[in-house]
């Protein structure tokens, strides 16, 4: 059953990967010009690519198979994937395999 708080596997699309990598690159550029001693939180983590799968928490449900997700990235940030549907391939989520 699709409910908030459940963990699913989300597959990144090309636009997801571009947005995540751009935020991380922008922060790296910002660091070189930022005043020292100023507090800020940045997007830091490993490069991501289309087709990679990450765990995601369901934060809102729309109908039987559509949800907003907080994708847990390999870094200190998350990615908000909105209105994603269950399926196979990029831009979709699926239930983890039982092992």
Is residue 41 a part of any domain in this protein? no
- CA 39/CA 32 separation, integer angstroms: 14
Which pLDDT score is estimated for 23? 86
Which band of pLDDT confidence, cut at 50, 70 and 90, is reported for residue 93?
Answer: very high
Residue 89 · residue 11 · CB < 8 Å: yes
- CA 37/CA 46 separation, integer angstroms: 25
Burial environment of residue 92 by CB neighbours within 10 A (0 to 12, 13 to 18, 19 or more): middle
Is residue 75 a part of any domain in this protein? yes
Is residue 33 a part of any domain in this protein? no
Which pLDDT score is estimated for 81? 97
Is residue 24 a part of any domain in this protein? yes
Dihedral over alpha carbons 60, 87, 64, 96 (to 10 degrees): -70
For residue 82, pLDDT over 90 is answered with: yes
For residue 83, pLDDT over 80 is answered with: yes
- CA 10/CA 12 separation, integer angstroms: 6
Task: Indicate the number of domains in the chain.
Answer: 1
Domain that holds residue 98: 1-28+48-99
Which pLDDT score is estimated for 1? 83
Mean pLDDT estimate for the chain: 89
Is residue 60 a part of any domain in this protein? yes
Is residue 74 a part of any domain in this protein? yes
Is residue 42 a part of any domain in this protein? no
For residue 59, pLDDT over 80 is answered with: yes
Which pLDDT score is estimated for 76? 86
Is residue 21 a part of any domain in this protein? yes
């Amino acid at each position: 059953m699709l409910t908030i708080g459940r963990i699913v596997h989300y597959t990144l699309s090309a636009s997801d990967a571009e947005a995540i990598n751009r935020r991380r690159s922008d922060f790296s550029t910002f660091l070189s010009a930022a005043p020292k001693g100023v507090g800020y939180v940045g997007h830091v983590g490993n490069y991501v690519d289309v087709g990679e799968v990450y765990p995601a928490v369901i934060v809102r449900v729309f109908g039987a198979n559509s949800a907003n997700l907080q994708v847990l990235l390999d870094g200190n940030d998350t990615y908000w994937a909105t209105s994603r549907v269950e399926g196979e391939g990029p831009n979709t989520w699926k239930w983890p395999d039982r092992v």
